[in-house]
Amino acid sequence: MAGKFELARSSNDKYFFRLKAGNGEKILGSEMYETKAAAENGIASVKKNASDDARYEKKTSAKGDFFFNLKAGNGQIIGSSEMYKSESGRDNGIESVKKNAPDAETSDLT
């Protein structure tokens, strides 16, 4: 099963998206956007930047968990991963974004 983006609306009327792998696991989440169009632009940016290794920022949380941010060409964060217990888990998450994002359909849940 292929990955997909879910475009959703929060309880405070902001928009966000998440990228899910084929198994339904969330692999990337966005910030909150004021408009649906801005969130859709964020999805397009993830698709455009997903295959570029230089766009991934590998991080470690204060608690020692591992995560990554996907950045646009201008350096702005367009998505952040879940927390992983290991560096290899985080790196597998990056590979999953690279594999799933470019051709993922968008499911509009708004």
Q: How confident is the model over 8-64, as pLDDT tens digits? A: 999 999 999 999 998 899 999 999 999 999 999 999 999 999 999 999 999 999 999
Amino acid code (one letter) for 109: L
Yes or no: say if 84 and 90 are a contact pair by the CB < 8 Å rule.
yes
pLDDT in tens, 56-105: 999 999 999 999 999 999 999 999 999 999 999 999 999 999 999 999 99
Q: How confident is the model at residue 2 (pLDDT cuts 50, 70, 90)?
A: confident
Is the per-residue pLDDT at 1 higher than 70? no
Residues 86 and 10: their CA atoms lie apart, in Å, by 30
Q: Which two tokens stand for residue 57?
A: 């920022």
Any idea which residue has 């993830």 for tokens?
A: 46
Q: What is the pLDDT of residue 22?
A: 87
Buried b (16+ CB within 10 A) or exposed e, 43-76: bebbbebbeeeebbeeeeeeeeebbbbbbbeeee
